[in-house]
Amino acid sequence: MNKVDTISAPHPKGYYPPGDFAIWFFIYAELLAFGVFFVTYAFARTYNVEMFNASQLELNRTAGAINTVLLITSSYFVIRAVAAIREDQQNLCVKWLFAAIFLGGMFLVVKIIEFKAKFAAGISLSTNTFYTFYFSMTVFHFMHVILGMIILGAVMLKARRGGYSSQEHTGVETGASYWHMVDLVWIILFPLVYVIR
Amino acid sequence: MQYQSQAVAKPYFIAALGLFAGQILFGLIMGLQYVMGDFLFPEIPFNVARMVHTNLLIVWLLFGFMGAAYYMVPEESEREIHSPKLALALFWIFLIAGALTIVGYLAVPYATLAKITGNDLLPTMGREFLEQPTITKIGIVIVVLGFLFNITMTVLKGRKTVVSSVMLIGFWGLAIFFLFSFYNPENLVLDKYFWWWVVHLWVEGVWELILGSILAFVLIKVTGVDREVIEKWLYIIIAMTLITGIIGTGHHYYWIGAPEYWQVLGSIFSALEPIPFFMMAVFAFNMVNQRRREHPNKAATLWALGTAVMAFLGAGVWGFLHTLAPVNFYTHGSQITAAHGHMAFYGAYVMIVLCIISYSMPLMRGRAAANPPKAQVVEMWAFWVMTISMVFITLFLTGAGILQIWLQRMGDTPMSFMAGQDQIALFYWLREIAGVGFLIGLITYFISFFVGGEEQAS
């Protein structure tokens, strides 16, 4: 069986959703939280479209695009990690997880550079409604990247101790599911806040 | 009871229940003063009755939480409490200091109390819920620090569990945030800003961790579901509590002079605060449905399910009702707030303390597992009478609040405050009747402790 087949093959136990059921409760709660943010952003924007558009142009879209690539790539690495553990390749799983966490770290670095530039320009939460949303949503997402990295880190440590196998790797799928959520939110956040006018 | 030192929880619970009765009596006095303004005047003015009502609530819940910790921590850590003598000494210090404070409130005018307790040396008095004289506040800090030392040492020396860790984080947070009650800046905006660090970050932050850990403990005991499953839920619940609750503080910052962005942050995060309570309700019912044993203590299970549901309704739904800034613009500080406060405190904190008392008291009184069925039936009656009365108190206050807002804050010619209050007197009478219902429930609850009979074999 080649690797692509392994990824798309159903879970050996055949259950859905993958990973621990409890994490899905958490994921849906988190998606709801971001969803409320996105909807409120949209409403707030309708009251002052021009101001939102003007402020939006001040954002660093290149940094945003780099970060999008970083997160999507790290999500792919996490998929590789799951595929590896399904074939009992524990070392490979650890390596892919490390790569995913590393890219998460890169995301944080880019974001910090972006924030620093904004603060240096005297822009803050209070500048206008757009920036209230920009900082609230991106900082909130930033915290989620950190939490996701902690979760993946815990999974990686357990994987390194040989805690997972092709038979039992719910933990890897649990961490992967959460990381994909963090990625998904950014995929919506980036165009919504940085691009769409 | 597996460990001798768990018994120190008993005096804490008894004191808690005694003070609970006092709280309800003052609630009834105050409820009557809403409609008969000069009732017990000048002996007990309204502001004093209110202060006693709210302060007793906080103090008896603290007694309940500490009792819960002293009962739970030995079983979780699998060892005796570090120092049962310290626990008992702190109990008496706390009880005497609390009683003296209440006597002070009732015996002398508040300004005199401030003078004789040396408030001018370190002024901390005169702020809602933090009315205690400075020396009482210092006493609270000493008691809580001693308590923290005692349970932290016990946890550190013994088995570490998620339940005891979450509880410890909750108590440490409780202690740390209480320190802000000593910060009393001249600037009113700053004063209010940090005042909420005590008030909000207690009840919508760290207290929820204590609530979650007690609920998890009781559910482990009565359902026999694997600890791992329950702990996993506890993790997710406290994560959501902190994610929503900390920034949710912003829903108090809308109109106090804090930056405008709090209207956005406060609205969004506090709108999500019902989520952890919803999870708690789903969690409690799931665990009970998946139970691996039929625990003979049906009453404790009922309190556990009850607290999850009522906390979701009172804290979650009734909180959401008026938390969004555009809504709160009209509802702020109206009877809607009172409605929310009553059901949230009852659902989240009163019921969880009664839940752990219901579970542990029979064991501390020498029963094998639970009270005799007859006593449990009386207790469950008390549960329903108190809970239904509280639902009615909340509904009548909500009605009063809606009418109050309509008459006093909307339309071209809004009424003055007192004229509006006259119009809603009927709701206040109905609330008082529901309050009497609650007292009947409470008396029934006390009676349940004295109902004898044969214990059901477990």
Domain ranges across chain A? 3-7+25-195
- Our CA-based measurement puts residue A99 at a distance from the nearest CA of chain B, in whole angstroms, of 26
pLDDT at position B32:
97
Residue A74 C-alpha, separation from nearest chain B C-alpha, in angstroms: 24
DSSP string, B279-333: HHHHHHHHHHHT-SS--S-HHHHHHHHHHHHHHIIIIIIHHHHTTSHHHHHHHTT
Nearest to B219 by CA among B311, B300, B306: B300
The CATH class of B233-458 is: mainly alpha
Judged against a pLDDT cut of 80, whether residue A4 lies above it is answered with: no
Q: Hey, is B420 helix, strand or coil? A: helix
Q: Average pLDDT, stretch A171-181? A: 96
The Cα A169–Cα A176 span in angstroms is 11
The answer to whether the CB atoms of A25 and B236 lie below 8 A apart is yes
Predicted local confidence at residue B19, as pLDDT:
98
* DSSP label at residue B245: H
Rounded Cα–Cα distance for residues B313 and B309 (Å): 6
CA dist., res. A123 & res. A121, Å (int): 6
* pLDDT on residue B457: 63
The answer, as to whether pTM is greater than 0.90, is yes
Q: For residues A143 and A149, what is the distance between their CA atoms, to the nearest angstrom?
A: 10
CA B179 to chain A, closest CA, distance in angstroms equals 27
The CA radius of gyration of chain B, in Å to the nearest whole number, is 22
Out of A8-17, A54-63, A139-148, B275-284, least confident range: A8-17
Please check whether the domain covering A3-7+25-195 is classified as CATH 3.30.450.20: no
The residue ranges of every structural domain in chain B are 1-120, 233-458
Taking a C-beta distance cutoff of 8 angstroms, is the pair B50, B128 a contact? no
B94 close to B82: Cβ distance less than 8 angstroms: no
Task: Tell which wins on pLDDT, A142 or A17.
Answer: A142
Decide if B353 contacts B404 (C-beta within 8 A).
no
Residues 6+ apart with CB under 8 A from B289: none
Q: Identify the CA nearest to B350 among candidates B321, B318, B307.
A: B307
Q: Do B271 and A36 touch (CB under 8 A)?
A: yes
Pick among A125, A126, A130 to test the B interface (most B CBs inside 10 A)? A125
CB-based contact B264 A129, cutoff 8 Å:
yes
> B166's torsion region: left (phi>0), alpha (psi -120 to 50) or beta?
alpha
Classify burial at A158, counting beta carbons within 10 Å of its beta carbon; exposed 0-12, middle 13-18, buried 19 or more. Answer: middle
What's residue A134's pLDDT?
A: 97
Q: In whole angstroms, what is the distance from residue B321 CA to residue B336 CA?
A: 9
Residues of B in contact with A44 (CB under 8 A): 264
CB B340 within 8 A of CB B320: no
8 Å CB contact of B259 and A126: yes
Q: Given a cut of 50, is residue A3 above it in pLDDT? A: no
Mark out chain A residues that contact chain B at CB-CB < 8 A.
Answer: 20, 22-23, 25-26, 29, 32-33, 36-37, 40, 44, 125-126, 129, 132-133, 136
Output Rg (C-alpha) for chain A, integer angstroms. 19
Q: What is the pLDDT of residues A133-146, one digit of tens each?
A: 999 999 999 999 99
User: What Cα–Cα distance (Å) separates residue B202 from each residue in B134, B173, B208, B355, B416?
Assistant: 19, 8, 8, 20, 34
The three-state secondary structure class of B396 is: helix
- Which of A20, A32, A133 lies at the smallest CB-CB distance from B264? A133
Find tokens 């709801």 and name the residue. A32
Which bin fits B450, alpha (ψ -120 to 50), beta or left (φ > 0)?
alpha
ipTM for the whole complex: 0.81
Model confidence at A15: pLDDT above 90: no
Per-residue pLDDT for A10 more than 50? no
pLDDT at A178 over 60: yes
d(CA B254, CA B305): 34
pLDDT along chain B (458 residues), means of 10: 95 98 98 96 95 97 98 97 98 96 96 96 96 96 97 97 97 97 96 97 97 98 95 94 96 97 96 96 95 96 98 97 96 97 98 98 95 96 98 98 96 94 97 98 98 76
Question: 């008459």: which residue's tokens?
Answer: B407
Q: What is the pLDDT of residue A21?
A: 83
Dihedral sign for Cα B130, B136, B142, B143, please: negative
CB B28 within 8 A of CB B436: yes
Which of A26, A44, A136 lies at the smallest CB-CB distance from B236? A26
On average, the pLDDT of chain A sits at 92
Q: Do B264 and A33 touch (CB under 8 A)?
A: no
Angle CA A111–A112–A118, to nearest 5: 90
Q: Please report, as a single letter, which amino acid is at residue B155.
A: V
d(C-alpha A113, C-alpha A64), whole Å: 11
Asked if B271 contacts B254 with a C-beta cutoff of 8 angstroms, the reply is no
pLDDT tens-place string over residues A73-82: 999 999 999 9
Q: Is the dihedral of CA B227, B232, B235, B237 positive or negative?
A: negative
CB A55 within 8 A of CB A131: yes
